[in-house]
Structure 1
């Protein structure tokens, strides 16, 4: 890989990804809303991922794109803005990449596509472990935007012949105050993360998964997470307590995360290295 564009590179995953690219000797371009001045990139373009002109400028000389730029939840912005921004950004980045002849991309989807994390009422997955075939049932603009983003990515494989991996990521944080504090609070009250099925991924693992996603051919939706949950409570006990209608289709011993990680292992060769 000669050069990679990273959108949203000033975020947690973006910064970890720039570190990883530097370690592997892969030059990076970045597209960010504002330049913080410390990004490890040869070219920094300031602008929004919804702007075709900014995207085209950021694509200069790249062979692949990792698209991370998005409003990450529906909680701090108007619903219309969350949906419109996220879906337009994904369309614009992949469309401009396809027009430029760039044939490989990876986009950040989310396990929140299930509809559980931001629903106004308690929802339960029909079965566990949850796999990529379980129909998304979004009730919020963020989950809906991720569902549309996946459809957009699939369309781009037909429209431009490009390969796109859409990675469904859970709660992501580093071994700092964010992840460890959240894990501690969930240990005391597992209900805090019941809608997220107690799943997590460390930022460096998320970055590595994104880079691996560039190596796939065709379109793929892949769930990526640590193989264990954030908490010490047995997973099957948690499911029976917080998701009593969920059909547990196979044993989930100990802290096994109730997500099906088969594709991450088989297609990406991915296994999380950093675990709580």
Structure 2
């Protein structure tokens, strides 16, 4: 659904995975915007600036329901973020049970807005062990699925749980398909390494050599909490250029010659279709690898 609705304007947001790579910047950005935060994480690398903090598993129903006290929106980022960080069962069951627990509790407790972390891997091809390339470029939310690993499957199922939660409880759910997300300095370090690694370039063809600056990821989360939309939305995010310093069409000629190319990609244009996020959230990526460094993600969101 894409019906319009009044802005959400949450006063307190529960952030799960609040100690994670995206979780800490999201907590900081919410606080900077004057929004109170309840932070939940299975462990902490440093104290959280949130005024309410819970430690434990986002699949723990009793803990999650306590954490929802006075909350009117949720950002669910808690997950095992890679198939190699547990057994297939641990990754799939851990991720999907946490998402179900959080969204079911949110819906039953009257929370009307949820932003959840999906992944560019949700369609399965990027981490598939078999010799596959995407059916077509640019990648979009309808790219044909081919699941072979538990993490990618869990992210795809998380999206289906979001659709279920909307149908069951009427909660608006925004599932953001994040690519590689880091601050610009870290992304530049990664880009320099990838420029010398043809094997990694070939592997990353499956996800369109996509990346996203942290500022743009945080911006999408905040828009997901506040934009006047209803329903369930799965939205693919990426920067406008690729992380590889070569023309995109040449990269596709080299690494994905059999995939359908639905349009040209001049220069280093990312072969990723982010138009759904632009329509639903009014979001657009504002940062590229070549941008000057000197402002923080909080300053760019001002």
Which TM-score tier does this pair reach, normalised by the shorter chain? over 0.9
Contact 1:200–1:225 (8 Å) recurs in 2: yes
Q: CA offset at residue 176 of structure 1? A: 3.7
User: Residue 219 of structure 1 corresponds to which residue in structure 2?
Assistant: 232
Matched, 1:126 2:135: yes
Matched, 1:187 2:215: no
Runs (4+) of structure 1 exceeding 3 A deviation are: none
Bigger CA drift: 158-167 or 232-241? 232-241
Q: Which residue of 2 aligns with 1:71?
A: 80
TM-score, structure 2 normalization:
0.88
- Name 1:145's counterpart in structure 2: 154
- Does residue 244 of the first structure (1) align with residue 252 of the second (2)? no
1:4-61, Cα deviation, whole Å (9 max, x unpaired): 1100010111111012112211110011112444212110001100000111111111
Contact 1:116-1:122 within 8 A present in 2 as well: no
| 2:36 paired with 1:23 | no
Partners of 1:27 and 1:76 in 2: CA distance:
32
Distance of 2:139 and 2:203 partners within structure 1 = 19
Equivalent position of 2:207 in the other structure: 196
Question: In 2, distance between residues paired with 1:147 and 1:193?
Answer: 19
CA contact (8 A) 1:13 1:204 kept: no
- Please, which runs of 5 or more residues in structure 1 have no aligned partner? none
Question: C-alpha distance in 2, partners of 1:76/1:11?
Answer: 15
8 Å CA contact 1:28–1:43 kept in 2: the answer is yes
- Report the Cα distance in structure 2 between the residues aligned to 1:133 and 1:193, rounded to whole angstroms: 19
TM-score, with structure 1 as normaliser: 0.96
Matched, 1:87 2:96: yes
2-structure distance, mates of 1:97, 1:141: 25
The more displaced of 83-92 and 127-136 is 127-136
Aligned to 2:109: 100
Q: Is the 8 A contact 1:163 1:218 kept in 2?
A: yes
**Conservation of the 8 A alpha-carbon contact between 1:186 and 1:193:** no
Q: Deviation at 1:175?
A: 2.6
Equivalent residue, structure 2, for 1:255: 268
Counterpart secondary structure, 1:106 = strand
Task: Show the counterpart of 1:171.
Answer: 180
What RMSD over aligned residues (CA atoms) do the two structures have, in Å?
Answer: 1.3
